[in-house]
Each structure stands twice: as structure tokens, then as C-alpha cells.
Chains A and B, each alone.
Chain A
Amino acid sequence: MREMTYAEAIRDAMSGEMRRDEGVFLMGEDIGVYGGAFGVTRGMLAEFGPERVRDTPISESAFVGAGTGAAMMGLRPIVELMFSDFMAVCYDQIINQAAKLRFMFGGKVTVPMVIRAASGGGTGAAAQHSQSLEAMFCHVPGLKVVAPSTPRDAKGLLISAIRDDNPVIFLEQKLLYGTKGAVPEGDYAIPLGSADVKREGGDVSVITYGRTVQMALDAAERLAREGVRVEVLDVRSLYPLDRGAIIGTSKKTGRVVVAHEAALFGGFGGEIVSVIADSEAFFHLDAPIKRVGALHCPIPFNPGLEAQVLPSAVRIEAAVREVITGGV
């Protein structure tokens, strides 16, 4: 184990995979000398050189598509999109190309590509640089979608994503880049589709992923002082999704809050709720499920306004109180 930041853990995963497999390489805007907008690739140019740490023109369609083409030929590109919002700039290449080619071509090609993108708000970057767009990508068959919440998970899940033979959208939470945690050294893979209980408890389940995991843990800590035992389940991987873990925690506590940073309406939380509603866990519920997410509003620039739009530990705590008192 080594203490490192979320950004360092991502770098550690990429560097390890690039040492292990010469087919793995990086592409993106200013990932070389500059080290990436968030510094994630800092130092990698020196170790791997410009062929494998490839600065691109500002042409998201061209370099995401080139990643797909190179992946079809057997290379394993990791494509960095500076902000996940920019996936809208190259939507065709992700949705109509990378996601479709394997099935559409009769199963004869694979597209082993990872698209890493800095996701989420809270940085004052305003409406075009703060979105959480994961639900849009979960809705497209052919893609996998991962959103790690800790340095350890970021490393383990990214290693699995790089080794996966499918296009994987890897959403890095930009406010988590600087957070620290213990990370296993060396070759450490976490299978995609495995949720993780970040805190055990028997009274209420908060099912979440990404940046709201820490908010849920903060809320759980405060509620623990009142004797409320909150279980925090981090699904980590949205597709494939660990349905069993969602059903399991819901049956265990019978009271569920679903939280994410993305806009609530049409958000991935709806899918989590439907997993519960569609299963035997439904019969174990003691209260209606509550959801926490962002308001249906572009993310505002002003810090006070932004904080009102995005979820928080306080709002998750309030939702937990509601499912406790709102029992049947």
C-alpha cells in the first residue's frame, strides 16, 4: 500500500499498463509536456516518449475516432478528454462508432479503448465544463461506464478498463483528483461490475457513486452520532452494474436513498431504483426510496448558486432522515 492522490493513482494504473503492454498508449490534448489540464499525465512523456504519450490537435472527433480505429487494429488506446462535457463534441464517434462496431460488424472486431474524462462540477467552471453525463453513455449498448470514488478504486478499475476489450467511458471526478488514500502497489485490478460497501450499517442504505460517495460517508458519520447506522454502497461501475449488491443492501436495511451528482431527472439513480423495484428487494422496503441529485438546471458559475444546484452531504443527510421518518 502507498498513500497517493486520485490523480496519482490513475497515473500509476496507466504507467503500469504501459510498461506491461506496449500496445497501450495515450492520446489527448496537452497530455505531454503540459501534463494534462489536471496534471494526471505529468511525467509520463519523459518515461514513454511522444509516440505513446501523444498530444493531439483540438479535434475531439478526430482523435477519439482515431482511438477507435487504432483499437480495431489491436492497439489499446487511452484517450483523454479534458472535460467530459467535450464528449458532446465527438458524440458520433462514441455513440455511432465505438459503441456500435463490434455488434454491427458481426462480432469480428473489438474496440479495446478507454475514454478518460474529467467529470462533474464544484469547481466554478460553469455550464460547459461541469456536467455529469454518465446516464447518456449508460443508455448506449456497447459502452461500459465507470466512475470511481477513491484513489484505490480509480487504480483498480482503470487497470480493468484498459484490459477490457470494449470501449469504456472512465469518468474521473475532477474534485477528487487531489484526494488521498491508500492504494495497493503493482498490478491491482478491480473487476468492472463489482460494487463496494464503503461503510457498513443496518438502518439505511445510501446507494451512490463518484463524488457523492464521500458526501454520503460524511452524512453517515454525522448520523452515527445519533445512533443511525447508514450503509454506503458505491456501485463504482454503472455498466456493467452490480445488481446483486444493490438488491442485497436494500433487503438488508429496507430504507434506501439513491444519490448522484448528475441532474436528478433522467439520471442514473432512476436505473438503480428500478433494480430495487424490479426485484424481491421491493418487498423489504419500509419506506419510499428517496433520490438526491442536481437540480434540472445548467451548472451556474457563482459559487453560491452552484452549491445550491449540486447535491451535498447536508442534502443526503436530510434524505436519510426522510426515509427513516417516512416509514410505513
Chain B
Amino acid sequence: MLRYILVRLLWLPLILLVILGITTWLMRIAPGSPFAAEKSIDPQIMQQIERKWGTNKTGWQWFGSYLAGIARGDLGPSFKVQGRTVNDLLGSALPVSLTLGLLALFLALLVGVPAGFLAGLRQNSIWDYGSMAIALVGISLPAFVIGAFLIVWLVFHWDVLPVGGWGTIDKLLMPAVTLSAPFAAVIARLARAGVLEVVHEDYIRTAKAKGLPKGEIVLKHLVRGAILPVVSYLAPAAAAILTGSFVVEKLFRIPGMGMHFVNSALNRDYSLVLGVVIVYATLLVLFNLVVDVAYGFLDPRVRLGK
């Protein structure tokens, strides 16, 4: 088990290296430059700028010196927000996105899992159709629609919540709900599918045959199997939700990672792009590992490291 985890962790640097290499290549072939401005810059001045920031090097040289920086724990300077290092920017944005993301993930599970279970256990009932209809809406409506509706109602109509920003708990509610909606919907559908799959398994029938009370069957036997699809979905979901959403952060003006994701690419802010890629890729790999380990506990058919 420990060995399994260790081996998976050892893969992480290699995975990151490949992802960073591909990202660097994509950035270099994209048109534009981190220093392009609306007014044209004298070619001589442009050369000076590129030398100052080291972007005059070939892609390979630049990548090499970037990796050397990472080895020292230095993600480099941001080209666009001058004076800030990528470490600074991520250091202030990541906690914001983590907080919001954890709350949203929590909400998504709190709503999605019970709704899915209810739908699955009462298949083809009004509960099933009702919760699946809501889930369909949650998946189909993009965040900027849900968020805008929340703002119109809760802020402008009923005047119960602040319009956006960061710093107090009440400012967190609308973005967290908006962020969680599509995830809650997917979780509900997965949980329902999980229940439907497990409900006809032999071991559930055996439990029924033994005359166990229904509540005990559900909690002891059914949940463990039915939750598996949700658990495997949680890895990519958590990585995505914890690194923030551009739309939600823009709409509610939250200084999180999502903004950096999109803006750094639009600005061709090379080191910031790589910085967010590192964070996202690392989280993704780690959560996948956590899920695989959790499988070992939840699913008796899976045993790791044997």
C-alpha cells in the first residue's frame, strides 16, 4: 500500500515535466508576445525588454532556466503584473480559491449525494423525476446564468447579500452556490446510477434475504458500493473546483486562481501560465491518487499493492 503510494508520487515530477513541456511549446507557437502593447514598440526597445525578461532565448533554453528556477522553488516573475513573482500571485490567489472551492465541493456533496440516492432508491417516482430534472438544469445552465440570476434576485431584488468581493462570509455564499451547482448535478446523477447498479447485485439480495432492516441494508451495504462512481468523479472535480472558476470569480469579483488561468494565457504571461498549470496538474494527480487509495477501502474487489 505505502509502496504503491510512493511509486505514484514518484511519477508526479515526470508527469509535470511532460505537461510543462507541452504547455511551453503551445505558448511559444501562439501568436503574440507577453510584451505586445496596443502601441507598437520600437524593435530595439522590444529586444531590450525580451533580454531583460529572458524571453529572447530559444524555447529549450527558456524551459531549461525555468526548470532550474523550479528546482529552487522559484516560479519566476510575472510578466504582466510587474513586481510580483508567480509565487506571490499564486500564494495569495490559491487560498482564496481553496476556501471557495472547499465550500462549493461540500455543498455539492451535501446536495448531490442525498438527492441521487433518493432518486435511485425511489426509481421512477416523483422524487426521481424531480431531482433528476433539477440536476439536468444544474448541468445545462452555465455559471454565468446561475450567478446572474442569483445576483438579480438576492442582491438587487431582495437585497440580502452583498454584490461580490471577498473578505466576509456573506460574500462567499452566492459564488459557492454558483460554483457548486454543476458539480452537485453531476454527483446526483452519478449517485443515482451507482444506486441502480448496486441495488440488483447479489449481495444486496442476500442481505434482503437475510431479513436485514431496509435502513441497515442501505447504509451498510448499498452506500459503499453505490458511492464508487461519485468517488472516482471527485478527483477531477476537486482539482477543478479547488483551483477556481474564471466565470464565477469574474462575476463576483473574487481574487482567486480562476482569473489567472484565463488572463495569464490571454496575456501570454508565460511563467504565470506554467505556475497555474503546475498547481492544477499536481492537484489532479494527488486527488487521483487519493481516490485510488479510497477505492481500496470502499470496494472490497480492489486491493492495492498486492
Do chains A and B stick together as partners? no
Chain A residues with a Cβ under 8 A of chain B: none
